[in-house]
Amino acid sequence: MTKPSHIAIIMDGNGRWAKARGLPRAAGHRAGVEALRRTVRAVGEQGVAWLTCYAFSSENWSRPQSEVSDLLGLLKIFIRRDLAELHQNGVRVRVIGDRKGLKSDIRTLLEEAEALTADNDAMILIIAFNYGSRDEIARAAAKIARMAANQEISASQITPETFAAFLDTAGVPDPDLIIRTGGDQRLSNFLLWQAAYAELVFAPCFWPDFTESDLVAAIEEFGGRDRRFGKVAADAVS
Ligand code: FPP
């Protein structure tokens, strides 16, 4: 069975998980971090080299101030508490999203995590934080426009491959499989460029309930998909 080499996850449903238990939304996000920890381990055990997780979108700033602080706090706790274990296990941490929009303490923390783990290669964990695809694509276009104005790049040099090198995911293989929990079936501004040929799997459970067996089921579903990348299947050619 073909396995994905890059899985990306939209971790949705923390709020509804908490509500169903009569708990505050913050409790759902805390349980979401636990699910993230379990999932990083499980993805590693499945031999999948790349994992990207959508932790905070550029649109999440419009949530109530207290929820935004909870999410920023959880990111700090996650990095502080889990970094040593991730590093020990050979996990490289990379962060995508707009760094400029983050306060300097968080920016420093993210940079330290990336620097500490830069030489690890057992698995790469990409955290999408203050990330939105349209913002990423617009920032890439702005960089190219600035270079063009300085005559450092010309229009004829811009191809899908060269453009991709200006995205936050430069050098990262496209996700093969995108999993979204929580029941909604959309991409919500996540990896729009990179998802061109990704297989999508929607898990009905809320993110805090996502288990290793849900992961294995998604990988198995992926294994049964016919990926043609815009071509026709070999046996369809007459
Ligand atoms: C969606 O649930 C989830 C998020 C907005 C954030 C995902 C965050 C985590 C899993 C925990 C934080 C992890 C780090 C590393 C910061 P939702 O609140 O939209 O749930 P709902 O759709 O049920 O309201």
Domains of the chain plus CATH, in order, are 6-132+171-224 (3.40.1180.10)
pLDDT in tens, 81-139: 999 999 999 999 999 999 998 999 999 999 999 999 999 999 999 999 999 999 999 99
3-class state of residue 12 by DSSP: coil
Helix-helix angle 65-88:25-45, to 10 degrees: 20
Query: Is the dihedral angle over the CA atoms 189, 145, 103, 86 positive or is it negative?
Result: positive
The residue-averaged pLDDT of 7-32 equals: 97
Query: Considering the chain, what is the average pLDDT of its residues?
Result: 95
Whether the per-residue pLDDT at 32 is higher than 80: the answer is yes
Which numbered atom of ligand 1 lies nearest the CA of 57? 5
Cβ neighbourhood burial of 113 (10 Å; 0-12, 13-18, 19+): buried
Pocket test for ligand 1, best of 9, 10, 12 (most atoms within 8 A of CB): 12
> pLDDT value at position 237?
66
Q: Identify the helix (H) or strand (E) that includes residue 177.
A: strand 177-180
The residue-averaged pLDDT of 203-208 equals: 97
Question: Where residue 197 falls among pLDDT bands split at 50, 70, 90?
Answer: very high
Counting every residue, how long is the chain? Answer: 238
Q: How far is the CA of 157 from the centre of ligand 1 (A)?
A: 39
> pLDDT value at position 238?
63
